[in-house]
Amino acid sequence: MPFVYDFDHRHRRPPMEMKDLLGGKGANLAEMTSVLRLPVPHGFTISTDACRAYMRAGWPEGLSREVTRARARLERNMGKRLGDAVDPLLVSVRSGAKFSMPGMMDTVLNLGLNNESVEGLAKQTDDERFAYDSYRRFVSMYGRIVLDIPGEEFDRLLDEAKQRTAAATDADIPVGELRSLVDAYKDVVRRHTGKAFPQDPDDQLRGAIEAVFGSWNGPRAIAYRDHEAISHDLGTAVNVQAMVFGNRDDQSGTGVGFTRDPATGAKGAYGDFLVNAQGEDVVAGIRNTEPLSAIEARFPRIYKELLAVFGRLEHHYRDMCDTEFTIEQGKLWMLQTRVGKRTGRAALRMAVEMTKDPGIRLSRAEAVQRVTAEHLEQVLHPQFAGTGYGVLTKGLGASPGAAVGRVYFTADDAAAAAARGEAVILARSETSPEDVHGMLAAHGILTARGGLVSHAAVVARGWGKPAVVGAEHVRIEGRTFSVGATVVGEGDWISIDGTEGDVVLGQVPLAETKPSDEFDTLLGWADFIRKGRLQVRANADTGADADNARRLGAQGIGLCRTEHMFLAEDRLPIVRRMILAESEAQEEAALEELRVAQRSDFVDILRAMDGLPVTVRLLDPPLHEFLPDVGELAIKEATVGLTAEEQRLYRAAKQWQEFNPMLGTRGVRLGVIKPGLYAMQVRALIEAAVDRVLAGGRPVVEIMIPLTVTRAELALARGWVEDAVATTIAAARRDNGLRPGRKLDVLIGTMIETPRAALRADEIAEVADFFSFGTNDLTQMTFGFSRDDVEGRMMSAYLDKGLLEHNPFETVDPGGVGELVRIGVQRGRATKPTLKIGVCGEHGGEPQSILLFFDAGLDYVSCSPFRVPIARLSAAHAVLGADAAAAPAKKAARSRKAGPARKAGPARKAGPARKAGPARKAVATRKRSPARKATGSRTVSGARKAPGLARKASRATTTPRSIKAARPTKAARRGR
Ligand code: ADP
Ligand code: MG
Ligand code: MG
């Protein structure tokens, strides 16, 4: 394969699809040249193959010859030669990787100028000032990028020259001064490199190409790829292109243009323009730009032409494009295009509008794929309105959205202020579980220390609460914090943006968060796509949460944690009485009180979810969580002494204290030693359901036993539950007039949250109507990571060192935990094909994990209410991704029969194949269960065959580092 392709090379496929080889910029330059036939300056692309070869073993054999030939073709096309003393050709040498990395890599302009050709250019253009301006730009760019000379050296000389000549702008510097500036620049080069500035265009070209190759591994580029989860192996292409000059005169200029407004999505061209300017001037912010529409007044004919080009680009790419263009002496040149980045709001609006655009005709499925989870996240959280605010300091954007409030420095102060009705921002050096009540009360959280998996970050994300963490310049002392000389006192207003990590003094107005009509439209389409294939439920513990979840589109509750009801202030004493009971009678009395209390909670929830399934998990956490802290009581005993009641609590707390509560007396184990407990909970629940039936409602109840490890355990618990259900219903028929024919829908199932339960899912399924994977505990137990210990202390080191690709508590680990999920599904359904299976760990709201759960064959995912819209979208993406992966696999099979195999199958488009984890094998051999067949079109095996496409879909829908799964409080987490 050759290393070099001209922009007008006849590729066998549309060049825009060849970004792997040509890079994004090169692929689109070729597309504009050879397919759209737009005015693009001639040039050629050195492929990413060449870059990869260079990175492996230095300058590749044969590359010089190919470049020399391509250069000769370019020179013939242009009728000019590089370095020519009479009429020189100048070129740009531009980087361009597969994924756009704005501003991360390097480009050299005006290459080919030297001491002789600059004179030729001056004569040819009859413009000495222009020639020397181009030369000084070239020497400084080449010096900075290729020769590694600090840019300030050149900038300082330029500023001095401007001052000396009282020039207002670069363009006002007189030619004599430009000449001496070039000499001064060349001196800088000699001083830094010990050599003269290279005069031979061959040397210049080779140097620039190597510098672009090298910039792939520059620190900025590496950091960017880390952040965006782009592979480091892709390499960049290099584009060598004839220069056009926007800095030629007042009939020239340069600009960037979008075919629609990337901020709002509104139709109509949008962008910035500068007259008499070149390249980066527009983005560099040196001169004030004009809006794109200013071109209309100045160059009406060109403006029309530009709009026509924009129209063609949109129709061709079927999306909003961004462009770079230059006008040289009244002629328009297109220098770049690509599908443009956009805000969440714009993404929604464009996706929906493009389905109606006759030139684009986006399908609804395509529209759904155009919107990412990140886009939704943006529109679901408030943002700062506008941009006119000064940033006091920056930290890490740890939990998206913006918040405005008065700052308080302790959890107690924050909670007290919130109780007074104030909007509060809690500022701490870092947070710990003791701060949780203050965090809960706050609108936003700011910490001076800690990273993206610090306690503050993790808890805030779980609640969808804006947070900026690790704001290093913030110094907290007592009830003030300072940033440099600025001191902020308790009660002062500040604003934080947890998306960007900005901290601002005062109250920044927030943009409206009411989702647009397009939001509902698009999610409606997503629901249609995933209908009957993957449902979305919510984890909700109260009627209010359930209402909220339903409003956001939840199709039921996948996890109702009854312990939250126990922790309420008025319930805790009753729970404690139950634990402390010294006789059966005492215990029963306490349980009876709890039953009455729980019953009304259940009524609220069942009402909110009327007609939809509600999965209630029986008590899960270790009992000592309901008792006071042993350490505190010990101190109190030693100092002021304990009351009789406290002494009893102290004894009980010590008795229930465990070395390893995560692995201790919790879940069904608790039921085994306190059998009355589960019976009581079931009674309360069934009574609530009966109430609902009598009120004309339709409760759908699923009772879930936590932490089951063996079949026998579940069989035992199931027995209690069935008994309690039967006696309660019988009592209701007898006492409450429940009609004999009236049936109650009750399923009894279990969580699968230990490796053993997943492995023995076949046996467990014999006594379960449904499974729900508790992937938080499953992750803890599969890795042997105690989440509360590991996340704060070692997770960031593991991520930094690349020991883990993702935090497995946020994105489900495909190789281990994911494999256990697949095994659990497979074995469970082998026993019971109709087994209903879902997931209720926090992974249920995380886009990448949702792809895996769908692929594993789950019926539903369940997540925090506020992540439900994201899960709905991601579920649709999962379905579309699997279908798309299945379709080309079939097509490829057909075309193999029809003719010679194409080299690049669709599956290879997305780049180097993903590492195939062991999960791959298991599923490839998995038989489709009858239940799957019944639901029809699920195409798991197809998805397996084309990992490339599946991956592409996932890239489009997620940005792993910035989308974090929900995570509730420690106590709540414990229970999962
Ligand atoms: P980036 O990827 O950082 O945008 P580019 O390769 O697009 O880098 O180039 C930087 C700037 O130089 C852009 O404004 C681009 O339009 C301009 N530029 C690049 N090549 C040429 C050329 N052949 N003629 C005129 N301007 C050019
Ligand atoms: Mg560019
Ligand atoms: Mg659990």
State in Å: Cα 106 to ligand 2 middle: 10
Using CA atoms, how far apart are residues 121 and 132, in angstroms rounded to an integer? 9
Ligand (nearest to CA of 751): 3
Using CA atoms, how far apart are residues 808 and 967, in angstroms rounded to an integer? 13
Q: Which protein residue's CA is at the shortest distance from atom 23 of ligand 1?
A: 243
Atom index in ligand 1 nearest the CA of residue 107 equals 6
Q: What is the pLDDT of residues 238-294, one digit of tens each?
A: 999 999 999 888 999 999 999 999 888 999 999 889 998 887 777 665 567 788 999
Q: Which protein residue's CA is at the shortest distance from atom 1 of ligand 1?
A: 103
Q: Which two tokens stand for residue 890?
A: 């079939």
Q: Which protein residue's CA is at the shortest distance from atom 8 of ligand 1?
A: 107
Ligand 1 pocket, residue 335 CB under 6 Å: yes
Q: Which protein residue's CA is at the shortest distance from atom 18 of ligand 1?
A: 279
| Nearest one of 290, 289, 319, 295 to 307, comparing CA atoms | 295
Identify the weakest region by mean pLDDT among 69-78, 140-149, 648-657: 648-657
CB proximity list for 748: less than 8 A, separation 6 or greater: 702, 703, 705, 718, 721, 722, 768, 769
pLDDT at 967: 33
pLDDT at 969: 34
Ligand 1 pocket, residue 613 CB under 6 Å: no
Residue 91, classed as helix, strand or coil, is strand
Using CA atoms, how far apart are residues 372 and 347, in angstroms rounded to an integer? 8
State in Å: Cα 464 to ligand 3 middle: 21
State in Å: Cα 564 to ligand 3 middle: 14
> Has residue 631 got a pLDDT over 90?
no
Distances 201 to 56, 117, 143, 198, 265 between C-alpha atoms, Å? 26, 10, 15, 8, 45
pLDDT at 961: 30
Q: What is the pLDDT of residues 898-956, one digit of tens each?
A: 443 333 333 333 333 333 333 333 333 333 333 333 333 333 333 333 333 333 333 33
What interhelical angle do 63-78 and 201-215 show, nearest 10?
120
Using CA atoms, how far apart are residues 950 and 259, in angstroms rounded to an integer? 29
| Nearest one of 868, 885, 57 to 515, comparing CA atoms | 868
Percent of the chain with pLDDT over 90: 64
Q: What is the pLDDT of residues 365-406, one digit of tens each?
A: 999 999 999 899 888 888 888 777 889 999 988 888 899 999
Q: What is the pLDDT of residues 107-161, one digit of tens each?
A: 899 999 999 999 999 999 999 999 999 999 999 999 999 999 999 999 999 999 9
Q: How confident is the model at residue 47 (pLDDT cuts 50, 70, 90)?
A: very high
Q: How confident is the model at residue 889 (pLDDT cuts 50, 70, 90)?
A: low
State in Å: Cα 911 to ligand 1 middle: 26
What is the CB neighbour count within 10 angstroms for residue 134? 27
Candidate of 336, 338, 341 to mutate for ligand 1, largest count of ligand atoms within 8 Å of Cβ = 336
Residue 488, classed as helix, strand or coil, is strand
Averaged pLDDT, 31-42 = 97
Using CA atoms, how far apart are residues 19 and 750, in angstroms rounded to an integer? 48
Q: Which protein residue's CA is at the shortest distance from atom 26 of ligand 1?
A: 279
690 with 736: CB under 8 angstroms?
Answer: yes
**What is the sign, positive or negative, of the torsion defined by CA atoms of 841, 842, 843, 847?**
positive
Q: Would you put residue 667 in left (φ > 0), alpha (ψ -120 to 50) or beta? A: left
Q: Which two tokens stand for residue 679?
A: 């019976």
Tell the burial category of 450 from Cβ atoms under 10 Å away from its Cβ (0-12, 13-18, 19+): buried
526 with 868: CB under 8 angstroms?
Answer: no
Task: Give the type of residue at 439.
Answer: M
Using CA atoms, how far apart are residues 692 and 698, in angstroms rounded to an integer? 7
Q: Which protein residue's CA is at the shortest distance from atom 17 of ligand 1?
A: 279
Ligand 1 pocket, residue 45 CB under 6 Å: no
| Nearest one of 885, 880, 848, 796 to 374, comparing CA atoms | 848
Ligand 1 pocket, residue 41 CB under 6 Å: yes
Q: Would you put residue 478 in left (φ > 0), alpha (ψ -120 to 50) or beta? A: left
Residue 476, classed as helix, strand or coil, is strand
State in Å: Cα 777 to ligand 3 middle: 5
Q: How far is CA 746 from the centre of its chain?
A: 38
Tell the burial category of 646 from Cβ atoms under 10 Å away from its Cβ (0-12, 13-18, 19+): middle
The average confidence (pLDDT) of the chain is 87
Candidate of 335, 338, 341 to mutate for ligand 1, largest count of ligand atoms within 8 Å of Cβ = 335
Q: How confident is the model at residue 648 (pLDDT cuts 50, 70, 90)?
A: confident
DSSP-derived letter for residue 31 is: I
State in Å: Cα 975 to ligand 3 middle: 5
Ligand (nearest to CA of 622): 3
Using CA atoms, how far apart are residues 167 and 170, in angstroms rounded to an integer? 7
Atom index in ligand 1 nearest the CA of residue 281 equals 14
State in Å: Cα 779 to ligand 3 middle: 10
**How, if at all, do strands 290-291 and 475-477 pair?**
unpaired
Using CA atoms, how far apart are residues 852 and 819, in angstroms rounded to an integer? 10
Ligand 1 pocket, residue 92 CB under 6 Å: yes
| Nearest one of 576, 583, 563, 565 to 655, comparing CA atoms | 576
pLDDT at 640: 87
Averaged pLDDT, 886-898 = 60
809 with 776: CB under 8 angstroms?
Answer: yes
Which parts of 26-124 are beta strand (E)? 43-46, 81-82, 88-89, 91-97, 107-111
Q: Largest Cα–Cα distance in the chain? A: 108
The DSSP-derived string for 302-330 is HHHHHHHHHHHHHHHHTS-EEEEEEEETT
Using CA atoms, how far apart are residues 853 and 797, in angstroms rounded to an integer? 28
Percent of the chain with pLDDT over 70: 89
Q: Where in the sequence numbering do the catalytic residues fall?
A: 455, 840
SS3 annotation, 338-388: EECCCCHHHHHHHHHHHHHCCCCCCCHHHHHHHCCHHHHHHHHCCEECCCC
Atom index in ligand 1 nearest the CA of residue 325 equals 16
Atom index in ligand 1 nearest the CA of residue 244 equals 24
873 with 371: CB under 8 angstroms?
Answer: yes
Using CA atoms, how far apart are residues 802 and 806, in angstroms rounded to an integer? 9
**How, if at all, do strands 396-399 and 81-82 pair?**
unpaired
pTM: 0.80
Ligand 1 pocket, residue 241 CB under 6 Å: yes
State in Å: Cα 193 to ligand 1 middle: 26
The DSSP-derived string for 98-122 is SS--TTTS-EEEEET--TTHHHHHH
560 with 544: CB under 8 angstroms?
Answer: no
457 with 467: CB under 8 angstroms?
Answer: yes
Q: Which protein residue's CA is at the shortest distance from atom 19 of ligand 1?
A: 92
Which parts of 183-320 are beta strand (E)? 236-242, 253-260, 267-275, 290-291
Ligand 1 pocket, residue 337 CB under 6 Å: no
CB proximity list for 180: less than 8 A, separation 6 or greater: 161
Averaged pLDDT, 451-478 = 82
Atom index in ligand 1 nearest the CA of residue 103 equals 3
Ligand 1 pocket, residue 323 CB under 6 Å: no
Residue 412, classed as helix, strand or coil, is helix
Ligand (nearest to CA of 97): 1
State in Å: Cα 213 to ligand 2 middle: 17
Residue 667, classed as helix, strand or coil, is coil
Q: Which protein residue's CA is at the shortest distance from atom 20 of ligand 1?
A: 92
